Amino acid sequence: MAVGLSTLPRLFPVPGIRLATTSAGIRKRNRKDLVIIECATNTRVAGVFTNNKLRAAPVVLAHRHLAGHSPRACIINTGFANAATGQKGLEDALACCQALAEQMHCQTEEILPFSTGVIGERLPVDRIINAIPDCLAKLDADGWKDAAHGIMTTDTVAKAFSVKTSINGKGLTITGIVKGSGMIRPDMATMLAFVATDAKLSAEVITSALQEVTRTSFNRITVDGDTSTNDACLLFATGQGELVIENDSEDSYQLFVKELGKVFLDLAQAIIRDAEGITKFITIRVTNGLSESDCLEVAYTVAHSPLVKTAFFASDPNWGRILAAVGRAPVKDIDIDSVSVYLDDVCIARSGAVADDYSEAAGKNVMSRDEITIRIDLGTGQSQATVWTSDLSHDYVTINAEYRT
Indicate the CATH number for domain 281-401. 3.10.20.340
228-266 core/surface letters (b: 16 or more CB in 10 A; e: else): bbbbbbbbbbbbbbebebeebeeebbebbbebbbbbbbb
Q: Are 165 and 259 in contact (CB under 8 A)?
A: yes
The active-site residue, picked from 22, 190, 279, 287, is: 190
- Note the pLDDT of residue 7: 85
pLDDT at 188: 43
Q: What pLDDT score does 187 carry? A: 54
Give the E-state strand segments of 290-382 in sequence order.
Answer: 340-343, 346-350, 353-354, 371-377
Output the pLDDT for position 254.
Answer: 97
The Cα 192–Cα 82 span in angstroms is 14
User: Is 190 part of the annotated catalytic residue set?
Assistant: yes
What is the predicted pLDDT for the residue at 189? 43
Give every CB contact of residue 49 below 8 A, 6+ residues apart in sequence: 55, 59, 62, 63, 188, 231, 232, 233
CATH topology of domain 17-273: L-amino peptidase D-ALA esterase/amidase (3.60.70)
| 358 close to 347: Cβ distance less than 8 angstroms | yes
Q: What is the secondary structure of 97-141 as a DSSP string? A: HHHHHHHHTS-GGGEEEEEEEETT----HHHHHHHHHHHHHT-BT
Helical pair 86-104 and 57-68, crossing angle rounded to 10 deg: 50
pLDDT of residue 118: 87
Tell me how far apart the alpha carbons of residues 252 and 229 are, in angstroms, rounded to a whole number.
Answer: 35
Euclidean distance between CA atoms 341 and 30, whole angstroms: 49
Say if CB 299 and CB 29 are below 8 A apart: no
pLDDT of res. 356: 95
Q: Where are the domains of the chain?
A: 17-273, 281-401
pTM of the complete model: 0.93
CA distance 303 to 287: 15
- Residue 253 is predicted with a pLDDT of 98
pLDDT digit string (tens) for the chain, length 405 residues: 688 887 899 999 999 999 999 999 999 888 999 999 999 999 999 999 988 888 899 999 999 999 989 999 999 999 999 999 999 999 999 999 999 999 999 999 999 999 998 889 999 999 999 999 999 999 999 999 999 999 998 888 999 999 999 999 999 999 999 998 765 565 544 479 999 999 999 999 999 999 999 999 999 998 877 667 778 899 999 999 999 999 999 999 999 999 999 999 999 999 999 988 899 999 999 999 999 999 999 999 999 999 999 999 999 999 999 999 999 999 988 999 999 999 999 999 999 899 999 999 999 999 999 999 999 999 999 999 999 999 999 988 887 787 776
Taking the C-alpha atoms of residue 48 and residue 108, their distance in angstroms, rounded to an integer, is 21
Ramachandran region of residue 168, left (φ > 0), alpha (ψ -120 to 50) or beta?
Answer: left
What per-residue confidence (pLDDT) applies to 398?
87
Tell me the one-letter amino acid at 170. K
Collect all residues with Cβ–Cβ distance below 8 Å to 77 and sequence separation of at least 6: 24, 26, 33, 34, 35, 96, 114, 115, 116, 117, 123, 128
**384 CB neighbour count, 10 Å cutoff:** 18
Sort strands 73-80 and 44-49 into parallel, antiparallel or unpaired: unpaired
